[in-house]
Chains A and B, each alone.
Chain A
């Protein structure tokens, strides 16, 4: 009895969730992809790992200096 009730509860939950997802308003992949592409290209110049920055500007690039005792 208990296991039937447990599966009933989980089935109710999953149907409720599916009903919600059915009502979701989706856009076409072509539009979504264009937006992703646009974001990348618009922000490319500000992406140091993508563009590479001169050693003088990247705090990690110059090797750590040795302290002279």
Chain B
């Protein structure tokens, strides 16, 4: 009976830790799915804590350096802040009236819809719910093609595989599982389920990378992780958030191997997938960041937050460049997505509405009513012809 003990912070196995230095203690045991289940609390040593202080460093010098660096960063960013985005957009023609209506309503979930994702074929959708069900729909006909009942409630995350042949989902079970979709409607999908990711708290978001072979996850345990689907092996872990990570989004494939994450620590972090490094960090929101989404060019990303604003951060200017807010909007934004050109930002709110923003001018161009409870998820279809919203009113709506 073999057990693998891993530190839940570094994911390094305890045999790698140095015995000599015990600056920090964590007690967690992570059990790989192939081994027999045990629950034992053990002490393990954080590898990072073993790096001693450099010559002359004390808590005081570090604190002072931290303050100086923060001040310098602010100065640098301020110097480059020579104009506002909406000023640059002044001369552009204003957008006309938008007529967007609900074109399909997908009914079938027994409880709150928490997440959805489009298939690359632009017509299938996977959605997950508080009642533990994951449903695959044909959005053109509103027919349900597959349904899976998860062993847990609150399935907060679901994603379609790029091939369209599988879906991934997870939530309060702390795992991300992959279900291959069978052409045989009578086949029991749950039988072929593959447990891929394991976190020590709820799964908040998951996404396949460019292939069916790797999945990126974010969790209430404050980390993100990259997994190999076939073996379930952890390929890379991402540490830097100091609270639950609620959302992640991969950069558009042309721009390389990075992704952005947002969480309850009000921070949005950009990560290098290969090295696990946090390359940029943004902290201007006043409350939890519920959703992050890259601008289609990959040079910026938008966020939706409980502070009732959505914001746009430019990666090359390394700062926030726009805020989408109104005094009349006081409820949190739960989910955001861009139209194909990046000109429109669709944002779902806890006041049951969807606001459509002109990304460049910073103004609201439409407000969409229809849902009878919080909007929890909003995603534009792969070809940009429609967008889908999921809500706590148990339904999904397709808008065009």
Contact = CB atoms under 8 A, between A and B. Distances in A.
Contacts of A20: 277, 279
Contacts of A49: 100, 339-340, 344, 380, 384-387, 400
B46 interface: yes
A29 B321 CA distance: 7
Given A21-B73, A27-B316, A32 B140 contact: no
Nearest to B68: A18
Interface string B274-313: 0001111100000000000001110110000000000000
Nearest to B122: A59
Interface residues of B, number: 73
Given A5-B23, A32-B316, A60 B386 contact: yes
Nearest to B54: A12
B142 interface: yes
Contacts of A12: 51, 53, 62
B65 A59 contact: no
A29 B340 contact: no
Nearest to B297: A39
B384 to A, nearest CB: 5
Nearest to B386: A60
B187 interface: no
Interface string A37-57: 101111110111110110000
A43 B85 contact: no
Interface in B333-388: 339-344, 359-360, 380, 383-387
A28 B317 contact: yes
Given A22-B73, A29-B321, A50-B343, A35 B51 contact: no
A18 B83 contact: no
A18 B383 CA distance: 40
Given A2-B25, A14-B66, A29-B83, A39 B342 contact: yes
A43 to B, nearest CB: 4
Contacts of B88: 30, 33-34, 37
Find the residue from A33, A47, A53, A63 having the highest chain B CB count within 10 A.
Answer: A33
A26 to B, nearest CB: 4
A69 interface: no
A49 B100 CA distance: 9
Contact of B104 (A7, A15, A18, A60): A60
Interface in B70-92: 70, 72-73, 76-77, 80-85, 87-89, 92
B386 A58 contact: yes
A21 B24 contact: no
A11 B339 contact: no
Given A9-B48, A11-B63, A21-B73, A52 B82 contact: no
B133 interface: no
Contacts of A34: 88
Interface of B: 23-25, 46, 48-49, 51, 53, 59, 62-63, 65-66, 69-70, 72-73, 76-77, 80-85, 87-89, 92, 95, 99-100, 103-104, 122-123, 139-142, 240, 277-281, 295-297, 299-300, 314, 316-319, 321, 339-344, 359-360, 380, 383-387, 398, 400
Nearest 10 pairs of A and B residues by beta carbon: A43-B341, A47-B341, A32-B317, A18-B69, A33-B88, A5-B23, A32-B314, A60-B400, A60-B103, A47-B340
Given A11-B62, A35-B316, 17 more contacts: A9-B46, A18-B65, A21-B69, A22-B69, A22-B72, A24-B280, A26-B319, A27-B317, A28-B80, A29-B80, A29-B317, A31-B316, A33-B85, A39-B296, A43-B342, A50-B341, A59-B140
28 contacts: A2-B23, A8-B62, A9-B24, A9-B46, A9-B48, A11-B62, A11-B66, A18-B69, A18-B70, A21-B281, A22-B72, A22-B73, A26-B316, A26-B318, A27-B316, A29-B85, A29-B321, A30-B83, A33-B89, A33-B321, A35-B297, A39-B341, A43-B340, A49-B344, A50-B95, A50-B343, A59-B122, A59-B385
Interface of A: 2, 4-9, 11-15, 17-22, 24, 26-37, 39-44, 46-50, 52-53, 58-61, 63-64
